[in-house]
């Protein structure tokens, strides 16, 4: 396959830069505690300085993998498939989700919303970033809003983002892991004063699982 042929398949979502895939327990947000198969897609230009998966940023570091193979492997493990990154909406998620839905599984995505929505999703977790704000269509469709709290200004940002999502979207504040000892008490106080919000913790890290 030539480079141009490979790029064409990537552009169509028929190949995806697969960083890793694994079966584990969803640790965050509404579905925490649920067994799920994670598919991590490479490529992200949002550039969060506290990102704990910086190795996902460069798509070219991860092998272009046939969407059919990703689906075939994923459905062997779980009825719930979580697509994450990187930023998965960098790529066309239509072919991947079409094939997953044909297998009768639940499709979840974790996204910054920096690119327009593609694919068919049963659950959309929107985790917006200041450096590259979400697209309007992602705000409208998000099932949960997960705002990461690194410093006090992030509470202001979280309220801005909450004003943009749909009325049924569940609102979460989650401590940035390296700052958790400092910000958890602040989050607890904030949620008690503003009970429209819920606390999300990275429980998989406490469980010492992927």
Q: Which CATH number do you get for residue 121?
A: 3.20.20.70
Strands 80-84 and 35-41: parallel
Residue 10 lies in a domain: no
Domain that holds residue 39: 15-206
3-state SS assignment for residue 192: helix
Residue 188 lies in a domain: yes
Residue 4 lies in a domain: no
Q: pTM above 0.85?
A: yes
Residue 80 lies in a domain: yes
Residue 47 lies in a domain: yes
pLDDT score for 52: 83
- List the binding residues for S-adenosyl-L-methionine: 50-52, 86, 127-129
Q: Return all residues near 170 (Cβ < 8 A) that are at least 6 apart.
A: 29, 30, 143, 144, 145, 198
User: Where does the pLDDT of residue 1 fall: very low under 50, low under 70, confident under 90, or very high at 90 and above?
Assistant: confident
- List the binding residues: 25-27, 40, 44, 48, 50-52, 84, 86, 127-129, 210
Residue 37 lies in a domain: yes
- List the binding residues for [4Fe-4S] cluster: 44, 48, 51
Residue 5 lies in a domain: no
The structural domain count of the chain equals 1
Report how far Cα 16 is from the mean position of its chain's Cα atoms.
Answer: 16
CB-CB neighbours of 140 under 10 Å: 14
Strands 144-149 and 35-41: unpaired
User: Where does the pLDDT of residue 31 fall: very low under 50, low under 70, confident under 90, or very high at 90 and above?
Assistant: very high
pLDDT score for 63: 96
User: Where does the pLDDT of residue 162 fall: very low under 50, low under 70, confident under 90, or very high at 90 and above?
Assistant: very high
């Amino acid at each position: 396959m030539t480079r141009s042929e490979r790029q064409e398949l990537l552009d169509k979502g028929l190949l995806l830069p697969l960083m890793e895939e694994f079966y584990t327990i969803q640790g965050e947000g509404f579905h925490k505690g649920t067994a799920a198969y994670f598919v991590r897609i490479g490529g992200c230009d949002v550039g969060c300085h506290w990102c704990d998966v910086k190795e996902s940023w460069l798509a070219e570091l991860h092998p272009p993998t046939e969407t059919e193979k990703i689906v075939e492997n994923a459905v062997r493990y779980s009825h719930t498939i979580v697509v994450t990154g990187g930023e998965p909406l960098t790529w066309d998620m239509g072919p991947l989700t079409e094939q997953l839905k044909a297998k009768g599984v639940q499709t979840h995505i974790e996204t910054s919303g920096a690119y327009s929505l593609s694919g068919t999703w049963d659950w959309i977790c929107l985790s917006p970033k200041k450096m590259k704000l979400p697209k309007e269509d992602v705000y409208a469709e998000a099932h949960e809003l997960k705002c990461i709290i690194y410093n006090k200004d992030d509470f202001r940002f979280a309220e801005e983002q909450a004003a943009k999502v749909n009325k049924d979207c569940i609102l979460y504040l989650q401590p940035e892991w390296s700052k958790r000892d400092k910000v958890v008490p602040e989050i607890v106080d904030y949620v008690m004063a503003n009970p429209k919000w819920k606390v999300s913790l990275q429980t998989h890290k406490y469980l010492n699982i992927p």
